[in-house]
Structure 1
Amino acid sequence: MKRYDFIIAGGGMAGLSLAYYLSKSQLRDRSILIIDREPKNRNDRTWCYWEQGVGPFEPIVFRQWSTVEFFGTTYSGPLNIGDYRYKMLRGIDFYQYIKAQLAAIPTIEIKQANIKRIKDTPQGGFVLTSQAPYIADYVFDSTFPLKLNLPRQHNLLQHFKGWVIRTEKPCFDVQRPRMMDFRIEQEGDCRFLYILPFDERTALVEYTIFNETLLAEPEYETALRRYIEQYLDTGGYEISETEYGVIPMSDEPTMESPSDHIIRIGTSGGYTKASTGYTFQRTQRYLQQLVRNLEQTGKPQRPVNRLYQWFKMFQDSVLLNVLKYRRHSMADVFTRLYARNQPADIFRFLDEDTSVWEDLRIMSTVPLGPFTVAAADVLRKRLLRV
């Protein structure tokens, strides 16, 4: 049974990002095995995120913008995002870039196999695959599934379907993506469209829903067609690419370090922000902290301010409670947040870069009645769990 310093179980965004940061660190000479069941050779997803300055993946950012458009209940128009840039990264570009970087390091291996079992042992983290067993000092696992059915938690889904379309007429403003467009039937949920323009005639148009139940495939497509017909003067269009995804939005407790030799990363480790489903930038930040700590102390746990973490998780639970029980229109909630605050402050808030007092000021701009009821319900549920 071959032994490695590190095994990365799952070669998606989190696993490849971790390998990338390890390859740029003082630990680049350690033996690393990455295992994934898929070759990651197709454009299966798109990540959008905001960022100040130049990030680690700047060479492969597909598009970026200094202004975004928002269409809400009482405000529509451009948002001044200050020093932030709204960036788009295609999955295929990410996979190819990371793999090219890793290929230059002889101590890093990538194997395509099904992972059957991950277990902690006194000798290290044990991984059984469809090809062979392996063992390592640490296993970084992004494959562990959340339960998403705990009765006193809030378990919702962010699900989306998008088309890259090529239009007959030039109808897209290449300088202004639509970040959130709520001018569609909400059906009691949080539903919006966004548009990421590639050029005047090509864009990704994506339909996104926050709720508990996936739709039948024709329902996503009907909503996309209806929006395109109503709000875009295309002159006709062709669909060149399709993407679909589901992201858990859950305040289910996660364990980043369930045992001595296993560390959970990505959604498995709680890297997805429960109230929004935002994952990409949060994952990058957490993994960089993890690698720095591993360099400095030999331990892969990232440093955490427990009190601040509890406060942020409580905020997430409150917003999920409002969503789950439909206490107020989420289109109106997001409109108030962006209309009554500086958009750059909302980005900092969602990135968890704000102080408690800044959070309280921002949260004072949402409908206080429904959110107070939600906060009381969250506290009640937590007391019942105790």
Structure 2
Amino acid sequence: MKKYDFIIAGGGMAGLSLAYYLTRSLLRDRSILILERDQKNRNDRTWCFWEKGAGPFEPILFQCWDTAAFYGPGYTGRLGMGDYRYKMLRGIDFYTFVEQQLTQFPNIERKQATINRIKDTPQGGFVIADDEPYLADYVFDSTYQLTLDQPENHNLLQHFKGWFVETERPCFDPAVPIIMDFRTDQHDDCRFVYVLPFDENRALVEFTLFNQRLLSSDEYEYALRHYLSQHIDTGAYQITDVETGVIPMSDVTTTETPSEHIIRIGTAGGYTKPSTGYTFSRTQRYLRELVDNIAKTGKPVRRVPWLKRRFALYDSIFLNVLENNRYPADALFTRIYARNPVRVFRFLDEDTTFPDELRLFTTMPTRPFLVAMIQVLRRKFVAR
């Protein structure tokens, strides 16, 4: 049985990003095995994120905008983004780009296989895939499934269905995406549509919900049809592609290093921000930190400063407000974005200072967040 320096269990966004950053570091000559069940040869997803300056995947961005529109109760207009840019990256472009980079390194092996088991051993991380054994100094696992039904945690789902549409009439402004449009029936949930325009006649129109219950296919499609008929003067339109997804929004406690030789990455490692479901940019940041630490110390440990842990508390409080419907979600998000230009993007990136956060908190409804904070702190105290 051959032993590798690193095994990457799962060749999706997190696994391929890790492999990419390893090739850009002093670790580029290490023996690496990537195990992935599916062929990454189709556009199976789209990632959107905001970012300052040029990121590592700037050359393959499908679209980039320096402003965004918002529609909420009592506010309609553009959001101040400062130095941030809202970026869109297609899955197929990402997979193709990283694959091209990895083919330059003969020390990186790829195998299409279903992972059966991952465990720690005194000799290293042990993986069985398609009944074949593999061993490595470290296994980076993005396949671990979080347990999202624990009553002491907040467990929402961000789920969506999007249509790529081509319209008869020029009806989109390609310079201005709609980041959130709450002009859709809320049904005591958080429901919105966002519109990412590619030109005047083509866009991705996506219906998104934050709650605990998935809808039927017909319900998503009804919401999309209704939105287009009421708010976009499309004329006739064609649906050229469809995307769907479910992202956990949970404050379940995650362990990045459950054992000496196994490290969880991506959603499995807690990289998804609980209060928003955003994963891509956090994954890139965390993996760069992880690779830097391996290169410097030989240990795959990502250090989280103690003060940074306050953002996990903020996420839990926000989830508590949403989960218990303590304040209408459409009005809540409107207050956050409309009253905190630029600051909201820094806050969601966890780059704010405490004075910045206090200014943002003063724009929030006091009682719902105070009740939520008390309940969250009580839960944490009882859990101990």
Matched, 1:73 2:70: no
Cα deviation for residue 16 of structure 1 reads 0.4
> Secondary structure at the residue paired with 2:54?
coil
| Candidates 329, 339, 347, aligned match of 1:349 | 347
Kept in 1, the 8 Å contact 2:7–2:138? The answer is yes
TM-score (norm 2): 0.99
Hey, what does 2:379 align to over in structure 1?
Answer: 381
Matched, 1:370 2:368: yes
Cα deviation for residue 308 of structure 1 reads 2.3
> Secondary structure at the residue paired with 1:128?
strand
Structure 1 segment 23-172 matched on structure 2, within 5 A:
23-130=23-130, 132-172=132-172
Hey, what does 2:327 align to over in structure 1?
Answer: 328
Report the residue type matching 1:380 in the other structure.
R
Cα shift readout 1:27-46 (whole Å, capped 9, x = no counterpart): 00000011110011110110
Cα deviation for residue 91 of structure 1 reads 0.4
Cα shift readout 1:279-335 (whole Å, capped 9, x = no counterpart): 0000000000000000000011111113421x1111000010011110001111111
Cα shift readout 1:2-43 (whole Å, capped 9, x = no counterpart): 211000000110000000000100000000011110011110
Hey, what does 2:3 align to over in structure 1?
Answer: 3
**CA separation in 2, counterparts of 1:355 and 1:4?**
42
> Secondary structure at the residue paired with 2:171?
coil
**CA separation in 2, counterparts of 1:356 and 1:146?**
31
> Secondary structure at the residue paired with 2:160?
strand
**CA separation in 2, counterparts of 1:25 and 1:209?**
39
Kept in 2, the 8 Å contact 1:113–1:131? The answer is no
Cα deviation for residue 230 of structure 1 reads 0.4
**CA separation in 2, counterparts of 1:374 and 1:120?**
39
Cα shift readout 1:49-73 (whole Å, capped 9, x = no counterpart): 1111110000100000111000011
**CA separation in 1, counterparts of 2:44 and 2:144?**
21
**CA separation in 1, counterparts of 2:67 and 2:159?**
25
Hey, what does 1:212 align to over in structure 2?
Answer: 212
Hey, what does 1:317 align to over in structure 2?
Answer: 316
Hey, what does 1:182 align to over in structure 2?
Answer: 182
Report the residue type matching 1:382 in the other structure.
K
Which ranges of structure 2 fall in alignment gaps of 5 or more residues? none
Kept in 1, the 8 Å contact 2:116–2:131? The answer is no
**CA separation in 1, counterparts of 2:79 and 2:371?**
30
Cα deviation for residue 133 of structure 1 reads 0.9
Q: Give the % identical residues.
A: 62
Matched, 1:293 2:307: no
TM-score (norm 1): 0.98
Q: CA RMSD in A?
A: 0.8
Kept in 2, the 8 Å contact 1:35–1:110? The answer is yes
Query: Structure 1 runs of 4+ off > 6 angstroms?
Result: none
Cα deviation for residue 131 of structure 1 reads 5.1
Kept in 2, the 8 Å contact 1:348–1:354? The answer is yes
**CA separation in 2, counterparts of 1:347 and 1:106?**
40
Cα shift readout 1:188-229 (whole Å, capped 9, x = no counterpart): 111110000111100000001000111111100000000000
Which ranges of structure 1 fall in alignment gaps of 5 or more residues? none
Kept in 1, the 8 Å contact 2:64–2:87? The answer is yes
**CA separation in 2, counterparts of 1:228 and 1:57?**
32
Report the residue type matching 1:184 in the other structure.
T
> Secondary structure at the residue paired with 1:118?
strand
Cα deviation for residue 341 of structure 1 reads 1.4
Report the residue type matching 2:265 in the other structure.
I
Hey, what does 2:305 align to over in structure 1?
Answer: 305
**CA separation in 1, counterparts of 2:45 and 2:351?**
27
